[in-house]
Amino acid sequence: MLPDQQFLRIPGPTPIPPSVQHAMSQPMIGHRDQETKDLLHSIKPKLKPVFGTNQDVLMIAGSGTAGLETAVTNAVQPGDEVMVIVTGAFGDRFAQICTEHDISTHRYDVEWGEAVAPQTIEEHLKKHPHIKAVFATLCETSTGVLNPVKELSRVIRRHSDALFIVDGVSAVGGVDVKMDEWEIDILITGSQKAMMLPPGLTFAAVSERAWEVIENNNRPSFYFDLAKHRNQLDNDSTPFTPALSLLFGLSQALELIEQEGLEAVFSRHRQLMNMTRAAFKALGIPLLTSDKDASTTVTAMKPDDFDPDALRKVLKNEFNLTVAGGQKHLKGSIFRIGHMGYCSPADILQTISMIEVALNKIGKSVELGKGISAAQEIMLSGGS
């Protein structure tokens, strides 16, 4: 094992493209100088298609959770009623944030590993006619589920005036999301997932409808006041010192997305998902989610005859390959592979090959190459 060679295949943070790494090492500039204005000015139009919106996308220094909490505190007030669709650990986090802020939170819990069936929320919406917002997670990173956000939005619009607020943290940049067309009111993501950057930036796109609510919300907020961020961004500026190095990196990451083409980026992610799923199916290792519910950015396996943490240990100690374990009650029973952002089919082949060796090392005998060839078949057929 080379001491400085790492293979990072968790669902965020994800590997950084060398050109993005290089861009982030640029010397610092004055955050009130023209260079910063030019940088923000050039980033703004390139972010919009990634979110599927015509709105400017706000960039705030903070992790993804800062973005989630910002959405909550800007769009709803203590005492308001909201509904949170919980399909895993990150839906649960959205619900916790609401509860912490004294918001009356109606949870809609779905079995972990499954996506929410949009029509099933109808009853819940009718039962709680005063709901001000519905919160959902696009890709539930803890299970590898992609929730049908477009269809959810239709159901919400039909039965309520609630804002629709979506956590897109492990999806935006890798999953085709059309914020405006699907009538999402606030869409949040973080930098360290499909956006190919280190952690530290959160992004928020806000619909006209949501701006009206936010402008009439008089609850106190200083740093995370979205209107303040919007007003400054209108002038290619930020209210506080921006995370400049991350913005240098973002500019280059968006350049890479543009070069590859957004459609090609999404189709690469579908291929990565298909390769990963085909490999584990061929190896006889059960997947946590159905093909229908699967996310193109992360895949979870739920083995029934070996300890996933024993596998992770061998991968880490012997090959320097990091894959993720389970969260909350799935701890110890699943392992997860992140395949978003700077990830290619070759990375998946490499990952599967190391896993095949490690499985044999922990006593789970699998035929070497069986998973790899299933993944190669997907590559060969185009597979997206």
Ligand X SMILES: Cc1ncc(COP(=O)(O)O)c(C=O)c1O
Q: Provide the binding-site residues for ligand X, judged by CB under 6 A.
A: 12, 63-65, 68, 90, 137, 139, 141, 167, 169-170, 190, 199
**Minimum CB distance to ligand X, residue 377 (Å):** 30
CA angle 276, 147, 253 (to 5 degrees): 65
The residue written with tokens 């996933």 in the block is 308
Among residues 176, 145, 181, the alpha carbon closest in space to that of 164 is found at 181
- Count of beta carbons in the 10 Å neighbourhood of residue 234: 10
Nearer to ligand X, 84 or 314 (CB): 84
Q: How far is the CB of 90 from ligand X (least distance, A)?
A: 4
Give the C-alpha separation, 13 to 238, whole Å.
25
Is the Cβ of residue 297 or residue 376 nearer to ligand X in the bound state? 297
Shortest CB 137 distance to ligand X, Å: 5
Q: Which two tokens stand for residue 266?
A: 């999404």
Q: CB of 190: closest distance to ligand X in angstroms?
A: 4
* CA distances in angstroms from 373 to 185, 274, 380, listed in the order given: 43, 13, 10
**332 and 308 in contact (C-beta within 8 Å)?**
yes
- Rounded to a whole number of angstroms, the minimum distance from the CB of residue 285 to ligand X is 23
How near is the Cβ of 199 to ligand X at its closest, in Å? 6
Query: Where do the H-state alpha helices sit in 3-60?
Result: 18-24, 34-51
When the beta carbons of 60 and 283 are compared against ligand X, the nearer one is 60
The closest of 50, 48, 54 to 260, measured between CA atoms, is 50
What is the smallest separation between the CB atom of 142 and ligand X, expressed in angstroms?
A: 8
Closest to ligand X by CB, 160 or 289: 289
Q: CB under 8 Å to 70, separation ≥6 — which residues?
A: 60, 62, 188, 202, 204, 221, 224, 226
> Shortest distance, CB of residue 93 to ligand X, whole angstroms?
6
**For ligand X, the closer CB: 139 or 288:** 139
User: Is the Cβ–Cβ distance between 77 and 219 less than 8 Å?
Assistant: yes
Given the complex with ligand X, which of 167 and 356 has the nearer CB atom?
167
Which residue has the CB atom at the shortest distance from ligand X?
Answer: 64
Q: Which is nearer to ligand X, 166 or 321 (CB)?
A: 166
Q: What angle do CA 310, 343, 291 make, to 5 degrees?
A: 70
By C-beta, is 20 or 169 nearer to ligand X? 169
Tell me the CA distances in angstroms from 36 to 25, 41, 109, 191, one per residue in order. Answer: 15, 8, 44, 19
Shortest separation between residue 341's beta carbon and ligand X, angstroms: 13
* φ/ψ (deg, to 5) at 81: -100, 135
Stretch (H or E) spanning 316: helix 308-319
23 to 12, 167, 245, 254: CA distances (angstroms): 20, 28, 8, 12
Q: Which is nearer to ligand X, 36 or 141 (CB)?
A: 141
